[in-house]
Structures are given as C-alpha cells and as structure tokens.
Amino acid sequence: MQKKIIFNVDVFLIFIFLCSIFVLAALFWVIPDDMISKDENRSLQQFPKFSMEQFFSGKFTGKINKYYADQFPFRNFFVGAKVLFSCGFFINENKGALIARDGYLISRFDRYSEKSIAEKSFEELGGNLTFEENMANIKNNCGYINDFFENLNDLYPEIKTIFAVPPRKIDSMTNKLPLFFPVDRNEKYFVELNKYINMDIYCSLLDMMRSHNGEYIYYKTDHHWTSLGAFQAYCALGEKMGFEPLHKDDFLIETACDDFYGVTWSKAVAKWIKPDKIEYYRIGNEEDMFETKINPEANPVILNGFYDFGKLETRDKYSSFLGGINTHVSVGMKNVGERKKLMLVSDSFGLSLVPFLARHYDIEIIDMRFFNNNVYDFIKEYGITDVLILVNMENFSTQNNLVKLMR
C-alpha cells in the first residue's frame, strides 16, 4: 500500500512537470512577442530572418537562443524571482548592479575586459575597457583640458575656466556598499585624476559628496545625482567659480514625480526596490523669468523655465531637466540686461545643475559627445565670460570626446 502511494505521488509529480513544459511551450507560440522590456528598458530579440550566411556563421542560432530567452512566457516574473532568489543566498548583484543598503542600487566598475580595444573583434566592441585603458583615458582627458585651458588663457585671459568631475555613485555612497566590498581600484580613478589635472582649475567634488552621503544626494535606482546632490555641487563650485551660492532655504522644493525608476533599476530588475522621487528647486514663477532653447541654431524647441514637464510622463523622467541630452542648449533670463555668460561643457549630470547656475549666469550648454563645431569659434560667437567643464567620472574614464577641445 505504501509503495502504491509513493508511486502515485511520483507519477503525479512527473505529470505536473510534463504539463508545465507543454503549457509553457504552447504559450510560447500563442502569446504575441514583446517588442521591448519596460522593466529592463531595452528592445527584445525578435525572431531572426533566416539566411544561409547567417546560419553557417552561427549568428542565426545565436539570435534564436536570444529570442527564446527574451520571449519566454512570464519572463518578467521569472527574472524578478531569480534576483530575489539570488539575494536569499547573499548574491546581491545582477548584471553589474549591486543591491546595496537602504534600497540603493549601485553600478559596479571593478570588472574589466581582458582584451584591449585593439584586440577585440567587431562583435566584441562596446563592452568594458581594460583597467589600463580607463587610466589612459583619465590621463589623456586631463591633458586635453590642461591644453585647452592654456590655449584659452592665451586667447582670452579674462575668461575663468573651472573643471569638476561628479563622482560615480560607487565613489560617493561608500556607506551603502556591501560589507567588505573592495574599493581599491575605484579610488585609483581619482588618484590618477589628481596626478595629471592642473590644480589651478580643478574643483574636487569627491570629499564634499562623501560628506553628504547620509543624505538623498543620488537617486536610489539611477546613476545621476538628485537635485539635492546637484545643489551641494553648486555650493562647492561657488567659491571656485566666484559666485555666492543661494541658501537651500531660498528655494521652494517641489516634488515633480514620485515614481521614477532609473537605468540602474533596469539592470538589477530588483522589483521590490521602491521608486525615486524627482524634486525641483524653484524660486518664484520661473516660467516667466527664464527661458530654455534646445538646439537654438535651427528650429529651436523653447521651454519656459527649466523643465520639460511632458517628459515626466515618459520612462526617462530625468530628461525633464532642460529636455534631456542635446547637442546645444541655451538657458537665460528673460527681459534683463547683460549677464555673465557661462559655457558649460557637460554630460547629463549638468542638466540638474543648470537651474542653480542660472541664478548667476546665462548659460550655453554643449555636450562634447555630439558637438562637432570649433569650440573657440563658439566662445567668440556667444561672448563667453566663464567656462565650466563638468564630466562624470564614468564618462571621463571611458570616453575621449574631450579631444574636440583641441580643435
């Protein structure tokens, strides 16, 4: 009797297992393919087009494997369950994003390619650099900035030039990292920077940001600093740039949204992590006081104030600051006389800093990843009086777009 019961239990389990396989297989062909994963913020592999060339090169079977992985029924549920299960075994990481303390998700940068760019095939390009290549980029970019400062000083000695590097979240929020997490290599990024940059123009933000890392200075689900983090940077830049920062109490802090999920959340897919809130620091009726022109040279998009409120309805809510990443953006006061004119050479970290700097300057913002004109002609054309180069350490150590400063 006991054997019969055991046998029946075994048969039942096998039956359930086989049913699950057949049901999932049937659902795979019944459920329409998804084009994108909203959680991961990326496009999903579609069924590849067959060709003999793709088949014999192995690319077709590789795409088929990716197609099955991306279109598996209830994929989002299983991805989230996998991350939760891993955390149960103290594997607090997914796709290079650390699931850190107090609900923070922090991208890690201590994993490097074993091949240099010169050794990589075309298919391998776009991944991690070697540690040596990161250090070389820091050295080279420091050289471009130093030379730019010397050239500009010869041409326009009255122009003040300042350079600052917003630290990565892993550099500043060390109090949120898992216990015993290695930080030695991350520290070397700033050692290398301090070794090569001209200290006359450099404004270090690292120690200042670390001194505030008990506050909400970085989004928990994104790599950018929050408006509070940008405010702290604005205060630190004031002395170096020569302006008196406003006090925090001078601003009315407005919650623009409280459901922001950033790019780090899309990597980690830790579904239990709560969303961030985006705050605007405002004074009076800014829409009547300031104007933002996006790509002003031809058919500009004009915003009253600093914010594109429509972007709050999209996935990329951070782009509500000045309308997001663009080649050239002009920000200035309406109906006032001449003010000092700042050229801000920046990546996306500058977007949330501008609403503070605009209290003291009219600003021409250029992103060197996309800007291809002559910078010295630009300075002359727009009557620039001050220059701030602000590039996040992630971009500063992995890209060489600042070579365009040498034209």
Mean pLDDT, contiguous 10-residue spans, the chain (407 residues): 54 68 60 62 68 70 65 57 49 77 91 82 76 96 97 96 97 92 92 97 98 97 97 97 97 97 86 93 95 88 96 95 96 90 98 98 97 96 97 96 91
Distances (CA, A) of 114 to 121, 139, 146, 182: 13, 21, 31, 19
CB atoms within 10 A of CB 120: 14
Specify the pLDDT at position 88: 47
pLDDT at 29: 59
Q: Which residues contact 214 (CB under 8 A, 6 or more apart)?
A: 175
What was the pLDDT predicted at 182?
87
Contact by Cβ (8 Å): 146, 138: no
> Per 3-state DSSP, what percentage of the chain is helix, strand, and coil (rounded to 5)?
45, 15, 40
Cβ atoms of residues 196 and 138 within 8 Å: yes
Identify the pLDDT of residue 121.
Answer: 74
- The values of phi and psi at residue 45, to 5°, are -65, 130
Q: Which tokens go with 319? A: 């782009």
Phi, psi of 132 (to 5 degrees): -65, -35
Q: What are phi and psi of 49, to 5 degrees?
A: -80, 130
